[in-house]
Amino acid sequence: MSTVIELPVETYKGPVDPDWCPGCGDFGVLKALQMASGKLGINPKDILVVSGIGCSSNLPGFMGSYGVHSLHGRAVPVATGAHLANTDLNVVITGGDGDGYGIGLGHLLHAMRRNLNMTYLVMDNQIYGLTTGQTSPTTTLGHKTKSTPIGNFENPLNPVALAITSGATFVARGFSGEQKQLGDIIASAISHKGFSLVDIFSPCVTYNKMNTYPWFKERVYKLEDTDFETNDFHKSLTKAFEWGDKIPLGVLYQVDHPIYEDSDPVLKQGPLVKQKLGLSKEVFKELLQELA
């Protein structure tokens, strides 16, 4: 086993400073991702961060690595294409609950069932922040928002339960108010071979006055402080539905299953970007001229 040489967090500082609202939980997620990358000793050139649209989806611009700020709800397919082209990259998807669990949910389901070797960090603030405070797929029942002034009457999505039943092989829940634990969770998610979903409570201090830092602090507890085992499907699913006075943080489910990349005969030959095209220089030049 090769020795991991940890790198300082500053290694992953982006070219511009974050411009989120003061107190936004996304600051903690960015720092935790940088901490995790440093803990794993990943060279910035070996990280690709892909996002969709939303406040949290600005994160790639604040990370000192490769990044793609893609379309609304399309971060997963863009990340999938990049990952399958170069499986040597550590591909991390970042975004919010609206982007990932709303318009992008169909893509997420298929990435999980395929068990692609990628990590998805969802900053779940239970509100649409960028569009100024409408209900999102994870907004709780009865929550009064700009789009539900009399209270939300739609049942919220349970993303961690959905991930466990859809084929993700690493499912965890974090909280930006518990940064060290979150950094460790993200490091484990990136290290895991398979699809990793980390649902992160990232409070929106501007538009969500219900699910605040104090609200979570009164309720969350760490699974690593218990005797919970993460490889039992049924127990993990039961734990995923625990909500109310007690909300678990940590790894809810982790198992080892074959990944998509190891089953594809072409990818068994190595990353596509490092494989020979099988075209002569003349034919390749003709193709380029057609596209010019």
Q: Given a cut of 60, is residue 60 above it in pLDDT? A: yes
Which CATH entry fits the domain spanning 9-291: 3.30.559.10, 3.40.50.970, 1.10.3720.10, 3.90.1150.10?
3.40.50.970
Q: Mean pLDDT over residues 90-108, rounded?
A: 97
The predicted structure's pLDDT at residue 2: 66
Confidence of residue 3 (pLDDT cuts 50, 70, 90): confident
pTM of the model: 0.94
Q: Which pLDDT tens digit goes with each residue over 151-164?
A: 999 999 999 999 99
Q: Which pLDDT tens digit goes with each residue over 191-213?
A: 999 999 999 999 999 999 999 99
DSSP string, the chain: -PPP----GGGGB-SS---SPTT-THHHHHHHHHHHHHHHT--GGGEEEEE-SSSGGGGGGGBSSEEEE--TT-HHHHHHHHHHH-TTSEEEEEEEHHIIIIITHHHHHHHHHHT-S-EEEEEE-SSBTTTTSB--TTPPTT---SS-TT---SPPP-HHHHHHHHT-SEEEEEETTSHHHHHHHHHHHHHSSS-EEEEEE---TTT-SSS-HHHHHTTEEEGGGTT--TT-HHHHHHHHT--SS-EEEEEEEE-----HHHH-TTGGG--GGGS-----HHHHHHHHHHH-
Q: Mean pLDDT over residues 86-98, rounded?
A: 96
Residue spans of the domains in the chain: they are 9-291
Confidence of residue 275 (pLDDT cuts 50, 70, 90): confident
The predicted structure's pLDDT at residue 143: 94
The predicted structure's pLDDT at residue 14: 94
